[in-house]
Structure 1
Amino acid sequence: MREEGAVAAPQRPLVDRVVRHGAVHRAAKTGFVVSGMLHLLIGYVITRINLGRGGHADPSGALETVAARSDGVVILWAVAVALVPLTVWRLTEALLGLHPAEGGRDPHDASVASRLKALGLLAVYCGVGYTTVRFAVGSRQSSSEQNAGLSAILMQTGLGRVALAGVGVVVMVVGGYFAYKGASRNFLGDLTTPGNPMIVVLGVYGYVAEGIVLCLAGLLVIVAAIRVDPQQATGLDAAVKALGATQAGSVLLAFAALGFAAYGLYSFALARYARM
């Protein structure tokens, strides 16, 4: 029996209770495993490029490696399905704000930065999911080829070039955020056990390395928009190959490959320790 004057705990909305269910969390965390696999494969493709064997250093290149297997179609569909709950989770996180802001008591008192981060990750997972389905149904056009085609269309007008340069700025901001998050170790707030030294090393190196490559990718998009050169506006693949074309290309590509591999292993840790 409740004491007189006691205040009843507020009832969470149904959608909030559903997304906080343990089964939903477990399903969403499978997406981190998929993300880890893709990052390891991208690291592998970058290593192949470093050895002169070619390839596309982006999610499509990783998925192309999977598609070449005899059971590749089955794996691709499994990847696409596994990304669904994680994508839905990020959408819910962006809309409802499932994590409180620093010092906040209300779980819905999420910071704007947290919501924007979730929205950015939502766009990434949607893009990877779309590419996965394309490969599963037989399309083999790489993301870099698609980006070059779209960039060529946008570059036909001044407004399109401005929009493309804006995309480059956004990619640079995301890359800068990744590098800052790794260097400042802010990612430890995403973990339920932030003290594991191995996870800390993987997170710092993975975030910083991937952030640097993304910054370069965004810069190349801006330069491509200014020079009206759609072949430079191909995203991650162009950034990796630009690194390889420098005097210290071999060392820089090894740095990038290890960085994506480190982030992949960190993603596996997220599958177990992510704060959701």
Structure 2
Amino acid sequence: MLIEWAARVGYGARGFVYLSVGALILLAAVDLIGDSVGTKGALEWLAQRPLGRVWAVLIGLGLAAFVMWRLLQSVFDADHEGTSWRGLGTRVSQLFSAFSYGALAVAAFGLLKGPPDDPAAEGVAQSRDYAATVLDLPFGKWLLVAGGLAIFGIGISNIIKAAREDFTEYLACSARLCRRVAPLARLGHVARGAAYLPLAGLVVIAGFHAEASEVTSFGSALNAVERQPAGPWILVLTALGFVAFGLFSFIEARFRRIRPPRKLKPLP
């Protein structure tokens, strides 16, 4: 029961983060706030609001619970994916998801010491520092290119998942409700996947040029999209997709089948 509640809290925390990101991107697209943000930027924005540290703690705890559930899914096969190539691929993806949300949970707790004065600028600076560190390594130029291609792969895999995945497979809801909520998941994954592509392109270009200064943050990459023809409309669609993904995460928090593993079967 404790594991089930932790998993549901985790899905809810993920939903809240993506709803916040979508809302902030939408506000940026209609020029009501300055810049678009990614997940970490949304946490920093929330930390600047009243009771910001309370939000940081609650979201951090929720994301930590989600990381625990992702580890049970990936390492101990809570969803009974098995050890086929498809099952292992799903479990490895869940493991990477655990690392990603773990980093986000750490970032949330890090905001207890106070949010940065300029989150957008700090995000860009951190990304460039990481790129400079990679470029200093042997074959750093090609490692950075590979990193950009990996980001591109994550984006494309989300889009492919939107087309192929049965997102209602793990939901314990009526067939009618499942049919209604499945489009939220598809739209959300397309938006997430497409949002990675501009950043991937910039990282690849930075690698080829061996220039860390050409790397930017997730939010700044979306700002670059906004400056293109029809960019604001693309940003609005991206924002709605993130909101859809957040809403589907709340659906999962309520209706997902949570099956804690009875036997521990780690990845071979």
| TM-score, reference length from structure 1 | 0.82
Aligned to 2:49, the other structure's residue is in SS state coil
Which amino acid counterpart does residue 132 of structure 1 have in structure 2? A
Matches within 5 A, 1:16-55: 22-52=1-31, 53-55=33-35
Q: CA deviation at 1:192?
A: 3.0
**Alpha-carbon distance in 2 for matches of 1:223, 1:115:** 31
- After superposition, the Cα gap between the structure-2 partners of 1:77 and 1:236, relative to the gap in structure 1 and judged at 3 Å, is same
Matched, 1:94 2:74: yes
Counterpart for residue 209 of structure 2? 227
1:213 to 192, 195, 204: 195
Deviation at residue 116 of structure 1 after TM alignment: 1.0
Partner of residue 155, structure 1:
135
The 5 A counterparts of 1:6-17 are none
Work out whether residues 199 and 266 of structure 1, in 8 Å CA contact, stay in contact via their aligned partners in 2: yes
Task: Report if the CA contact (8 A) 1:169-1:222 is conserved.
Answer: yes
CA distance in 2, matches of 1:245, 1:224: 20
Amino acid at match of 1:44: A
The alignment yields a C-alpha RMSD, in angstroms, of: 2.2
Corresponding residue pairs, total = 250
Quote how far apart the aligned CAs of 1:205 are.
0.8
* 2:46 counterpart residue number: 66
Relative to structure 1, is the Cα distance of residues 199 and 209 closer, same or farther in structure 2, using a 3 angstrom cutoff? same
1:194 deviates by 7.6
1:1-276 maps to which residues of 2 (within 5 A)? 22-52=1-31, 53-101=33-81, 111-140=87-116, 141=119, 142-157=122-137, 159-193=139-173, 195=175, 196-276=178-258
SS at match of 2:147: helix
Give the 3-state SS of the residue equivalent to 1:69 in structure 2: coil
1:25 partner amino acid:
E
Higher relative contact order (CA 8 A, sep 6+): 2
Which residue type is aligned with residue 26 of structure 2?
Answer: T
* Residues 158, 54 of structure 1: alpha-carbon distance in 2 compared, 3 angstrom cutoff: farther
Tell me if the contact between 1:221 and 1:235 (Cα under 8 Å) persists in the aligned partners.
Answer: no
What CA distance in whole angstroms lies between the structure 1 residues aligned with 2:153 and 2:170? 20
Q: Which has the larger radius of gyration?
A: 1
User: Under a length normalisation based on structure 2, what TM-score does the superposition of the two structures give?
Assistant: 0.84
1:30, distance to aligned residue in structure 2 (A): 0.7
Q: 1:23-63, CA deviations, whole angstroms, 9 ceiling, x for partnerless residues?
A: 21111211111111111111122123223332351122211
Aligned match of 1:3: none
Cα distance change, pair 192–65 in 1 and its aligned pair in 2 (3 A): same
State the identity as a percent.
Answer: 24
Q: Which runs of 5+ in 2 are unaligned?
A: 259-268
The answer for unaligned runs of 5 or more in structure 1 is 1-21
Q: 1:206 to 1:273 in 2, by over 3 A?
A: same
- TM-fit CA distance, 1:268: 0.6
Letter in 2 for 1:27: A
Equivalent position SS for 2:228: coil
